[in-house]
Each structure stands twice: as structure tokens, then as C-alpha cells.
């Protein structure tokens, strides 16, 4: 089940969860260059649909044009105002609401009201900053880096193909929520990387589930996953899947691609979570979920599939609420001026140590707060300094 045969050290010092300088180093070396899952294509179904949000490197607008989703910094080249303050909507042109400047798909100016008053203004002199956008299935990814690996290379071919399969075009979005949290982004990530807290935080909603069904940890240099055999009755799920032309797996899989993508796959549903840092002590928890629909487009069956997914959603939302209610207490403890010790991580929580070592390796001049056991470093392929 576990990769490590011993307990493991806490590799990040407490200040990593609240210090401004540490956070700014993360932004420069880890967060800005990464690929971020930011939306589902389902959120922009029609020509001209747009969504906006603030991210680690400023405000962003996504817009569908000619069937393709494009991304731009949500900042007009004229007076540097946001193009729009609406979180979502539809617009026939990419137009700034303040003074009416319009832009084409490439971000170049297309129309400037009273253009002669801006003479001399050379063609192409001003425009929007376009951002890199790629998709894995229906998941829309964004990168602020002008150059770098593709989404396929970032995720790895196996993960990319899995996401394309699970998040395909014959699916429906049944849950979308963004939650602002007063905690460092890594606290949310680490909470998702271990099931040890299930027996206490989720005692009433899930019980000691991790004690009842054994699971496996799989660790690689850029991520990890937890795979647990199905604990739900299989016969009904298999029958529905065959009717829908689908082949669901019989496992619960929670995956993490560092630093930004967490995905959950279970039965006929799939979802992703992304933790967007908004400061040293704050973040936004982005959650999206899809349910598979029938490949043969059977409306009655599709209605049943979506209703079943929403029924299971109630349980999952309860679990999420229990987590986010407690996480501010974790932040408060980490910021205590005195600590009882450096902290300790169990074998069951080894994905946290794996994530922390990966993060340290990305930050120039930063050393881990403790030495990683040779056996664990060799088994997981991380750098051991």
C-alpha cells in the first residue's frame, strides 16, 4: 500500500505557509510557469461566451471565438482597466466596457472609437496580451509562461489520455464552485493528498473508510495518486454503464499533478480541483465535476445518469464542507510563534512528503527542513539533497 517503510519528516518550515518572500519565490519559480486547469469547455458552450477570473499572475478572460477558446489578460491596452468585470456572459466582440476599444482573436486592436485622436498610432502598437490555452478533453488549461512544455508533456501521455477519456465531449457539468479560503494554498493541497484525517474530520460522513478498504499510493516525479478498490455495489453501476456504452473502472482514484491539478474519478463521474494561490495566507479552491452521458444520445438514460450524479454530489459536498471548515485552524497552528516540534508525517501521508520535496526542488537556494530517507527518495525518483 505504502512506498515508505518508515514515518517521514516535514520538509517545509512553518514560514513556507505564510511568509511573503517564500510565496513570491513560489510565484516566480513554480506557479507562474505551470499549466493551470481553469475551466471546463462546458462553461463556454456558445460563440462569444466568456468567463473571467483573477489568477496567480493577474486577471484573465477566456472567450470562445470561431469554435476555439482563447485566453487573454483581462486588461485593456488603452487605460489598463479590466475589459469587463462580469464573471461570465456573452459578447459579440472582445470589447472593453470602459471606452469601447475592440480586439480581434489575436488580441490586436480591431476598432478604436475616435481613432484620429490617438494619432500617431501604428498598427499593432497596442493590443491585448494573449495567453497560452490548451485542452485535455473538456478541461481548459492556462499558462502564463510564453514558452515551455505543452499540456501533454506537462501531464505526461498517460495522464493526458486518461483526462481526455474521462472528460470527453459526451458529458455534462453538474457541479461548479469557487471557494475563497483564508489559508495558504499548500494546506488545501496537502489535505487532499492524505486520507488519514478521514477517521476524525469525516467520522460522520465517511467513517473510518480508509481502514475498511486498502488502497495503493503511486508516486512519480511530477505527481502521485491514491487508488482504492470500489466499496460500493458493482452490479447496478455495471448495468448502467453498459446501457450508456461506457466502461467505468471499479476503483476510486484521486490523482495529483504538481502543483495545480487534482482529479477524482469514480464510477460514471469525474472532477477536477485546483487550488489558486491569492496570497501567502489565502487561496481559491476551484471545483468542477462532470458526469458521463450515453454515447448513443439516449435522453431518458442521460436524465437518469445526471440525477444519480447529483444524488452522490450531496455526500461529496458535505465532505468538502467538513474539510474547509477546519483548514483555517491548520493555518492558525502553523503560524503559532512557538511549535512543539518540527512535525511528523506518517506513511499513510507520504504523498505530502513527496509533494513537499518536489516543491523544494523547484525553488533555487532552498533546502528541505529535514533529510529525506534514502529508501523513499530512491523509490520515488525525487532529488535527494
Per-residue pLDDT tens for 252-296?
889 999 998 999 887 788 889 999 999 999 999 999 999 989 888
CB atoms within 10 A of CB 154: 22
Cell match 470562445: residue? 64
Fold of domain 1-18+167-385:
Naphthalene 1,2-dioxygenase Alpha Subunit; Chain A, domain 1 (3.90.380)
Closest CA to 145 of 160, 157, 133: 133
Closest CA to 335 of 27, 16, 12: 16
State how far the Cα of 50 lies from the Cα of 48, in Å rounded to an integer. Answer: 6
Closest CA to 162 of 254, 84, 48: 254
The hierarchical CATH code for the domain 45-149 is 2.102.10.10
pLDDT (tens digit, 0 to 9) for every residue of the chain, 385 residues total?
889 989 999 999 999 999 999 999 999 999 999 999 999 999 999 999 999 999 999 999 999 999 999 999 999 999 999 999 999 999 999 999 999 999 999 999 988 888 888 888 776 668 999 999 999 999 999 999 999 999 999 999 989 998 998 888 889 999 999 999 999 999 999 999 998 888 888 887 776 655 555 678 999 989 999 988 766 555 566 777 778 887 766 778 899 999 989 998 877 888 899 999 999 999 999 999 999 898 888 898 888 888 888 888 888 889 999 999 999 999 999 999 998 988 999 999 999 999 999 999 999 999 998 888 877 877 766 543 3
Q: How many residues does the chain have?
A: 385
Largest Cα span, the chain: 73
> What residue spans define the domains of the chain?
1-18+167-385, 45-149
Per-residue pLDDT tens for 79-105?
999 999 999 999 999 999 999 999 999
Q: Give the CA-trace dihedral at 10, 12, 14, 15, to 10 degrees.
A: 170
SS3 per residue for the chain? CCCCCCCEECCCCHHHHCCHHHHHHHHHHHHCCCEEEEEEHHHCCCCCEEEEEEECCEEEEEEEECCEEEEEECCCCCCCCCCCCCCEEECCCEECCCCCCEECCCCEEEECCCHHHHCCCCCCCCECCEEEEEEECCEEEEECCCCCCCHHHHHCHHHHHHHHHHCCCCEEEEEEEEEEECCCHHHHHHHHCCCCCHHHHCCCCCCCHHHHCCCEEEEECCEEEEEEECCCCHHHHHHHHHHCCCCCCCEEEEEEECCCEEEEEECCEEEEEEEEEEECCEEEEEEEEEEECCCCCCHHHHHHHHHHHHHHHHHHHHHHHHHHHHHHHHHHHHCCCCCCCCCEECHHHHHHHHHHHHHHHHCCCCCCCCCCCHHHHHHHCCCCC
Residue 276: φ, ψ to 5°: -95, 115
Amino acid at each position: 500500500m505504502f512506498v515508505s517503510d518508515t514515518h517521514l519528516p516535514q520538509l517545509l518550515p512553518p514560514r513556507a505557509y505564510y511568509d511573503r518572500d517564500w510565496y513570491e519565490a513560489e510565484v516566480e519559480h513554480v506557479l507562474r510557469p505551470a499549466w493551470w486547469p481553469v475551466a471546463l469547455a462546458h462553461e463556454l458552450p456558445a460563440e462569444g461566451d466568456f468567463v473571467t477570473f483573477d489568477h496567480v499572475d493577474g486577471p484573465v478572460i477566456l472567450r470562445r471565438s470561431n469554435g476555439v477558446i482563447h485566453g487573454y489578460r483581462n486588461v485593456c491596452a488603452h487605460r489598463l482597466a479590466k475589459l469587463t468585470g462580469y464573471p461570465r456572459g456573452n459578447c459579440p466582440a472582445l470589447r472593453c466596457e470602459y471606452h469601447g476599444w475592440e480586439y480581434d482573436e489575436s488580441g490586436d486592436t480591431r476598432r478604436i472609437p475616435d481613432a484620429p485622436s490617438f494619432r500617431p498610432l501604428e498598427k499593432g502598437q497596442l493590443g491585448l496580451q494573449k495567453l497560452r490555452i490548451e485542452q485535455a478533453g473538456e478541461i481548459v488549461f492556462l499558462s502564463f509562461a510564453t514558452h515551455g512544455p505543452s499540456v501533454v508533456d506537462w501531464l505526461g501521455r498517460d495522464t493526458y489520455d486518461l483526462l481526455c477519456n474521462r472528460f470527453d465531449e459526451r458529458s455534462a457539468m453538474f457541479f461548479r464552485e469557487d471557494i475563497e479560503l483564508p489559508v495558504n494554498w499548500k494546506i488545501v493541497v496537502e489535505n487532499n493528498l492524505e486520507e488519514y484525517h478521514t477517521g476524525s474530520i469525516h467520522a460522520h460522513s465517511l467513517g473510518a473508510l480508509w481502514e475498511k478498504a486498502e488502497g495503493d499510493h503511486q508516486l512519480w516525479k511530477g505527481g502521485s495518486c491514491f487508488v482504492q478498490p470500489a466499496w460500493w455495489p458493482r452490479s447496478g453501476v455495471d448495468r448502467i454503464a453498459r446501457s450508456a456504452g461506457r466502461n467505468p473502472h471499479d476503483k476510486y482514484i484521486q490523482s495529483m499533478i504538481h502543483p495545480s491539478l487534482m482529479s477524482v474519478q469514480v464510477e460514471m463521474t469525474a472532477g477536477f480541483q485546483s487550488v489558486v494561490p491569492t496570497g501567502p495566507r489565502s487561496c481559491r479552491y476551484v471545483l468542477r465535476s462532470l458526469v458521463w452521458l450515453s454515447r448513443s444520445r439516449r435522453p431518458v438514460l442521460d436524465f437518469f445518469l445526471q440525477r444519480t450524479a447529483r444524488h452522490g454530489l450531496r455526500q461529496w459536498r458535505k465532505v468538502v464542507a467538513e474539510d474547509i471548515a477546519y483548514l483555517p485552524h491548520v493555518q492558525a497552528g502553523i503560524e503559532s510563534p512557538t511549535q512543539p516540534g518540527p512535525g511528523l508525517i506518517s506513511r499513510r501521508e507520504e504523498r505530502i512528503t513527496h509533494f513537499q520535496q518536489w516543491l523544494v526542488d523547484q525553488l533555487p537556494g532552498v533546502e528541505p527542513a529535514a533529510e529525506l530517507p534514502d529508501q523513499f527518495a530512491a523509490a520515488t525518483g525525487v532529488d535527494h539533497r
